[in-house]
Amino acid sequence: MHKVIVVEDDRIIRRGLCQAIPWEENGFIVAAEAADGAVALDLIKKEQPQVVVSDINMPFMSGLEMAKYVKEVSPDTKIIFLTGYEDFKYAQEAIKLKAFDYLLKPVNGEQLLEKVKEAAEEWQKSVRKEKQINESIPLLQQAFFQKLNRDREQQIDIETELADLGVQLTGPYYSAILVQYVKEGDGLDFKEQVIPIIESLIGGMDSAAMEASPDRLAILLSLDRNDDPAKGRLAQELLEFVHQKVGQSVTISYGRTYANLFEIRNAFLESCLAMDLRHIMGTGRVISFEDTVSETEQHGNNLADLEIKIENQIKLGMPEKVKNALEQLHAAILESRTVSLPDLQVLALKLGAMLFFESEKWNEEQTGSFNSSEMYHDIMKMQTLTEMIEILNRIIQQWSHTMKKRKEKNHFSHVDQAIKYMKEHYYDQGLTLQKLADVIHVSTPYLSNLFKLEKGFNFGDYLLELRMKKAMDLLREGKLKTSEVSEQVGYSNPQYFSICFKKYTGYTPAEYRKG
């Protein structure tokens, strides 16, 4: 039965509307009646009726005033206004308030009943549509995260995708947290209970909690700074909140922080990689990506230094140097004879996770010979140091191969464009990383990271080398003064040029010219 509430200050008319119309025979029940809008509002809030039939002109609170508040207390309720001929001017305002319809008094019972039926049918359609939208939102959210995970090298307009999901993140820094839980029935509505905690922790910065999969919640964060402690604090408080308030064990992971919205994909994938190690790192706890790739058991200064060296070279995208450093690590572990098999497995998992992640970043076709499950399985089965080195070397080889394929396909990358411009304008005294980034239309941090990733060196080192080699050529020719050479290779101060030249070559310009 649909509910109807009748609001009319004239008792006789109100009685007639309630009793003279065969409501129940037509699937309706008069849930309440009221003589003014103020009383009616409380009844509407309590009963949540499908239809309200109300006079427009009433004492204390008119029907029009009441309608303004109905949208707050019962937003889906349809209102049909009744008005006398002399109050017909109010009909225009009723339309502005999006009333379902209005009828002139005296009201014909059959006509009113038909209008109420139409209003109830409209209510049914709007509720059904809203239900369909609400039911589809989790599926749309899951599809978004599947796209991030599946199409890793495909360019995705993250901002537009999030806007379509009703999410807007303002940054300036971004990260992601994953909550893995056991879904029981409808399960815990994490979004409803987690968002207030997120808001309190990050001081009003925006964030979004969404379903990454049926048993996994993803929280996308805006942070104030790169080292914002809110991320780790939020993860820990979420863990405690769920344990204490709900009594459910969850595992929480989070990735690193990034300065560009499109890089939130990296933070999400890092969170996934960390989460994939939960059976190794332990469930029912917080796991950061840094936990899985940076923390190592310390077995002497030499081992510690080599592990850090390998991690840094992996982050810089230098597979050949990683391979050489791995050989050194192999020898150091053999020499130490103190590293247990469990310690080797932990080390292999951490380095393997880093190598696998870097390899997958370059794997455009996603058809590599490794996947994370196979890698973890191989490492947990290994019994010797030699096996560990073989497993890691296979991933390095795959990484090197995918990098080579990508570079062959994209032979003229942003860095290549930058290097071409630098070779043609090395003499420009105003040549900076910022100017170079503006020329090729990318951000300065992005270009700086790209130099290290693709070439293994930074902008400043390459520009110095370029200028010094040109200066060496000019000095060997012997036609120009040192001050002229300085100016031609981009230095306005000859003294500073001489200092840079000696630091680079070991000779002053004059000594080099004589030699």
Give the domain CATH number at 436: 1.10.10.60
pLDDT at 227: 74
Q: What is the pLDDT along the chain (515 residues), one digit of tens a residue?
A: 899 999 998 888 889 899 889 999 999 999 999 998 889 999 999 999 999 998 888 888 888 888 888 888 888 889 988 887 566 566 666 666 677 887 888 888 888 999 899 999 988 888 877 776 666 777 888 888 888 877 655 678 888 888 888 888 887 889 999 988 876 544 446 566 666 666 666 655 577 888 888 888 888 888 888 876 778 888 888 888 777 776 677 899 999 888 888 888 888 988 888 887 675 566 788 988 887 664 444 445 678 888 888 888 887 778 888 999 999 988 888 777 667 777 888 888 889 888 888 877 776 555 544 567 788 888 888 878 888 889 999 988 888 888 777 666 554 567 888 888 999 999 999 999 999 988 888 888 888 888 887 777 888 889 999 999 999 999 988 888 999 999 999 999 999 999 999 998 888 998 888 86
> Same domain, yes or no, for 420 and 462?
yes
- Residues contacting residue 61 through CB under 8 Å, at least 6 positions apart: 36, 37, 38, 41
Q: Which of 409, 424, 441 is the last residue of a domain?
A: 409
Cβ atoms of 465 and 443 within 8 Å: the answer is no
> Same domain, yes or no, for 358 and 429?
no
User: Looking at the DSSP assignment, which residues form a beta bridge with residue 174?
Assistant: 222, 258
- List the one residue out of 270, 258, 269 whose CA is nearest residue 150: 269
> Same domain, yes or no, for 461 and 341?
no
pLDDT at 488: 92
> Same domain, yes or no, for 361 and 438?
no
- 465 falls within a domain: yes
> Same domain, yes or no, for 26 and 79?
yes
> Same domain, yes or no, for 437 and 386?
no
- 488 falls within a domain: yes
- List the one residue out of 118, 133, 206 whose CA is nearest residue 170: 206
Q: Which of 238, 262, 290 is the last residue of a domain?
A: 290
Range of the domain at 9: 2-127
| Token couple for 315 | 């982050």
Q: What is the CATH number of the domain that holds 195?
A: 3.30.70.270
> Same domain, yes or no, for 177 and 283?
yes
Q: What gap in Å lies between CA 51 and CA 29, rounded to an integer?
A: 10
pLDDT at 411: 46
> Same domain, yes or no, for 471 and 401?
no
How open is the CA angle 168-172-177, to the nearest 5 degrees? 65
Q: What is the CATH number of the domain that holds 47?
A: 3.40.50.2300
Q: What gap in Å lies between CA 508 and CA 492, rounded to an integer?
A: 17
Q: Which residues of 399-436 are buried (b: 16+ CB within 10 A; e: fewer)?
A: bbbbbeebeeeeeeebbebbbebbeeebeeeebebeeb
pLDDT at 273: 82
The predicted model scores a pTM of 0.43
> Same domain, yes or no, for 333 and 246?
no
User: Torsion angle, CA of 163/167/173/175, rounded to 10 degrees?
Assistant: -110
CA distances from 119 to 63, 153, 348 (A): 17, 51, 66
- 444 falls within a domain: yes
> Same domain, yes or no, for 191 and 235?
yes
Cβ atoms of 255 and 271 within 8 Å: the answer is yes
Overall number of domains in the chain: 4
pLDDT at 198: 64
| Token couple for 37 | 């809008």
- 296 falls within a domain: no
- 134 falls within a domain: no
pLDDT at 171: 78
> Same domain, yes or no, for 267 and 158?
yes
pLDDT at 431: 92
Q: Describe the strand order of the beta sheet including 101-104 as a list of residue ranges.
A: 28-34, 2-7, 51-55, 78-83, 101-104
Q: Is 179 helix (H, G, I), strand (E, B) or coil?
A: strand
- 364 falls within a domain: yes
Which parts of 301-384 fold into alpha helices (H)?
Answer: 301-315, 319-336, 341-362, 372-381
Q: Is 106 helix (H, G, I), strand (E, B) or coil?
A: coil
User: Torsion angle, CA of 146/149/152/157, rounded to 10 degrees?
Assistant: 50
> Same domain, yes or no, for 312 and 401?
yes
- 49 falls within a domain: yes
Q: What gap in Å lies between CA 25 and CA 39, rounded to an integer?
A: 27
- 380 falls within a domain: yes
Q: Which of 385, 409, 433 is the last residue of a domain?
A: 409
> What's the DSSP call for residue 103?
E
